[in-house]
């Protein structure tokens, strides 16, 4: 097994409401070779998805106004309408395991809790991409 996740060439759409967390995730993913598009709201995430198709979406569950649960509902609704491939999604949660289960029940493919472990997030992305390829 590799000692680090292989995210080279992977396009990640990061939808995160907190400026500091956005920066930490963006830098961390970039260090593993990912190309990261960053937006700060769920609505901006929906707009970004109209303009591009990333390999994976990482979304904050607790954004103000429209949260990550709203975002995933919009993504899955669009997927069902278009018949396109379902994009792998990872929820970032401040609450731990209980919300992680709720995120998966809400159709996120994986979740990671805060305090954020960027290496853990990168491995979660790697596992999701391995499953979908």
| Listed residue (71, 56, 60, 76) closest to 133, CA to CA | 56
Higher-scoring residue by pLDDT: 3, 123: 123
The model's pTM is 0.88
Residue 3 pLDDT more than 70? no
Give the domain ranges of the chain.
11-132
Assigned CATH class of 11-132? alpha beta
Is residue 129 helix, strand or coil? helix
User: Is 6 strand, coil or helix?
Assistant: coil
For the stretch 12-54, pLDDT in tens is 999 999 999 899 999 999 999 999 999 999 999 999 998 998 9
Helix (H, G, I), strand (E, B) or coil at 112: strand
User: Under a CB-based contact definition with an 8 Å cutoff, are residues 109 and 88 in contact?
Assistant: yes
């Amino acid at each position: 097994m590799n000692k680090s996740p292989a995210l080279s060439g992977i396009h990640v759409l990061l939808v995160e409401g907190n400026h500091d967390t956005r920066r930490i995730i963006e830098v961390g993913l970039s260090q593993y070779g990912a190309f990261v598009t960053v937006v700060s709201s769920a609505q901006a995430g929906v707009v970004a998805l109209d303009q591009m198709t990333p390999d994976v979406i990482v979304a904050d569950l607790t954004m103000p106004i429209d949260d990550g649960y709203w975002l995933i509902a919009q993504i899955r609704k669009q997927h069902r309408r278009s018949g396109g491939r379902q994009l792998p999604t990872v929820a970032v949660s401040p609450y731990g395991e209980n919300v992680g289960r709720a995120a998966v029940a809400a159709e996120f493919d994986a979740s990671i809790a805060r305090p954020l472990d960027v290496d853990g997030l990168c491995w979660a992305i790697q596992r999701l991409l391995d499953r979908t390829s």
